[in-house]
Amino acid sequence: MIELVSTWLWVHWVDLIGWLGTNVVVGVFAPLIGMYAMRQLNQMTANLEHPFAFTVSYFAPYREAQLGYMVLGWAMAAVFELAKMGGLSIGLRMGGIIALFTIAASGGMLAAVGASNPPKEKPAGVSKWRHFTLFRISVYLSIVTLVISCYVHVHLG
């Protein structure tokens, strides 16, 4: 019995770590790693005749609400998990799927608006958090979506 419980805990722990790694770590940190790679390319080619001159801003991938695309991915992953699971009534499942489709569409639209309408220059004395409204909304929406997606994956999956 103890072996069965320990195996179950190990499988679920590995599943949760893998799920968090692929969904959260990759989504959140891939833009930072990309910017770091551009910085390294700038440094490696600095002494060449035609060096790279990439603009490196670690905040740029997030500033224009690009977290909305991550929201879209998390919400759609939760939709597919809800769709394939049994044990829930069809009404509860459909309600969750409709809510998650709404969140996914909101995240995608937020990111599209942010990308097509870059923010104006930040005035002096105003924090980035206050100035970049779409970024702030995308952070809140990301947190809500991550909590819902984790709940669906861990407790309902």
Q: What is the pLDDT of residues 98-134, one digit of tens each?
A: 999 999 999 989 888 887 877 778 788 888 778 888 8
Residues whose CB is less than 8 angstroms from the CB of residue 34 and which lie 6 or more positions away in sequence, other chains included:
61
Structural domains in the chain (count): 2
User: Which structural domain, as residue segments, surrounds residue 44?
Assistant: 1-58
| Same domain flag for 84 and 152 | yes
Tokens representing 98 are 């409709």
| Same domain flag for 14 and 52 | yes
- Whether the full predicted model's pTM is greater than 0.85, yes or no, is no
| Same domain flag for 48 and 77 | no
Tokens representing 121 are 């220059």
Confirm if 54 and 36 have CB atoms less than 8 A apart. no
What is the identity of the amino acid at 50? Answer: H
How many angstroms separate the CA atoms of 105 and 8, rounded? 36
| Same domain flag for 78 and 18 | no
